[in-house]
Amino acid sequence: MMQLRELLKQTAILQAVPDELLDKVLERASLESFSSGDVIYRVGEPARDLFVLVEGEVEHALGPDAGAAVLVKIVKRGDVIGWAALLKGQQQRLAKTTARGQVSLLRINGESLLEILSADPELAEDVLSRCANMVVEDFSLPSWLAQVQEIPRSGDAAETARLTGLSLTMYRSARWFQSPKPYLMLVGFAIFFGSWFFMSEVWHFWRFDNLPGPWEVLQEWFSEDPIYGLSFYTPEYYQHIWVSLRRIMIAFAIATILGVPFGLLLGWSAQFRSYMFPLFETLRPIPILAWVPLAIIMFTGLESPVLFLTALASFYATALNTMLGVESIDESYPRAAACLGASRWQVFRYIIIPGALPYMFTGLQISIGVAWFSLVAAEMVSGEFGLGYVINTSYTTVRYPTIVIGMVTLGIVGYITSALVRLVGDQLMQWRVRELALGGQQ
């Protein structure tokens, strides 16, 4: 059984299935032998089982109604045939398969396979997606015909199938907590803070002489009467967080509203790119701090320069990644749409924008991080409130624990905002998850 299990793990559709489920599949499967010239199944016969080739070779000849580009294929050890049993609405065989020499096949009932896999809906979706990809890529079947079955679910699995939005996120979070990832993350934090503690409070390394230790920072952070005036219990702490968050939201919105269309035009229009891209690339490397004097001159008050500096850095990241997203789209898609009569606007709306979304949201995640970098720099130079202002004034007034409090708070709030952008992207691109599965990626 172990050898057969290893063989199943090498197949195109069962690579991600854990050993315990593969053992259940093998318990219901049967090993069959065929001699040279034996017909395993014919076009039009009921499609109930799929087969994994254990030994030998099989000629797989698709019927003309299948619409495949290549009708005859020689399959070998580890290949899967009889996959029509997993196709949606497909009750009959699409091909004739003939043994070439002595052949050994593992017969697996399609319904039994899906019943076993339905205990883990995401895994079942992955198997079916891999099957659809294999049918299109390896057997050249049209994608419209390679539609896989829906997963039979019951009990908890049925409930999972109805999960959408926040519920789906909570389900995935629960799965995450069951994996080793959160515990490895805690180990990483423990190593960092442990090293900081020993070097600053135990061993007293000379580079850490003036640096407050984690215990000192925690005492100040959670003190009801903080020595340096800022902690969880002081209203000023939350005022600084809110001011920084408000500035980030405004600047990020401005950068997104301007950067996404600008990036789409850079990638879509060669003429627009010829005019604007050289200027864009000339201005982009200029550090944000170099813009500070001009920002103060151009904008009155304390708020406008901060918003300008924050939005400017975020704009560059958003526009550049959006442009790269447009460039990543295969040229054959717009051409095919144009040949089918699509207008230039329809190509832009239905192909360019959706195709650029993965890069676009990657750019937005980078953009929100860059916005925080720029905000802190701007608040240090031209600000009256905010976390950057806290860090800068704490340094000038020798309040070192408050510096660390501001930095850690900045990291936590920045991580949350990046996670929210990533969450929005995941919700808007559910189709992307399926596309990756179809590509055999995880």
pLDDT digits (tens, 9 = 90+) for 26-57: 999 999 999 999 999 998 899 889 999 999 99
pLDDT of amino acid 373: 86
Lookup: tokens for 229: 């005036």
Residue 117: Cβ within 10 Å count: 24
Q: In the 8-state DSSP scheme, what is residue 46?
A: B
Is residue 65's pLDDT more than 80? no
Query: Which among 1-5, 154-158, 317-321, 395-399 has the top mean pLDDT?
Result: 317-321
Q: Mind listing the pLDDT tens digit for each residue in 282-336?
A: 999 998 888 988 888 888 777 888 899 999 989 999 999 999 989 888 888 888 8
Nearest to 113 by CA among 60, 152, 157, 146: 152
Per-residue pLDDT at 163 exceeds 50: no
**CATH number at 2-162:** 2.60.120.10
Please compute the mean of the pLDDT values over residues 10-18 and round it to a whole number. Answer: 86
Rounded-to-integer distance, Cα 349 and Cα 326, Å: 12
Q: 212-438: same fold as 2-162?
A: no
Please give the pLDDT value at position 430.
58
Q: Is the pLDDT of residue 414 over 60?
A: yes
Q: Where are the domains of the chain?
A: 2-162, 212-438
Is 80 exceeded by the pLDDT of residue 157?
no
- Which carries the bigger pLDDT value, residue 68 or residue 201? 201
- Decide the pairing of beta strands 95-109 and 30-34: antiparallel
The two three-digit tokens of residue 374, written as one number: 């720029």
**Percent of the chain residues topping a pLDDT of 70:** 89
pLDDT band at 158 (very low <50, low <70, confident <90, very high): very low
The two structure tokens encoding residue 47:
């499609």
Contact 268, 357 (CB under 8 A): no
pLDDT for residue 121 is more than 50: yes
Question: What's the pLDDT at 155?
Answer: 47
Of 80 and 433, the one with more pLDDT: 80
| CA pair distance 50, 227, nearest whole angstrom | 72
Specify burial of residue 288 (Cβ count, 10 A radius: 0-12, 13-18, 19+): buried
Q: Identify the CATH assignment for 212-438 out of 1.25.40.10, 3.40.190.10, 1.10.3720.10, 2.40.30.10.
A: 1.10.3720.10
Count the neighbouring beta carbons within 10 Å of the beta carbon of residue 426: 15
What is d(CA 309, CA 302) in angstroms, rounded to the nearest whole number? 12
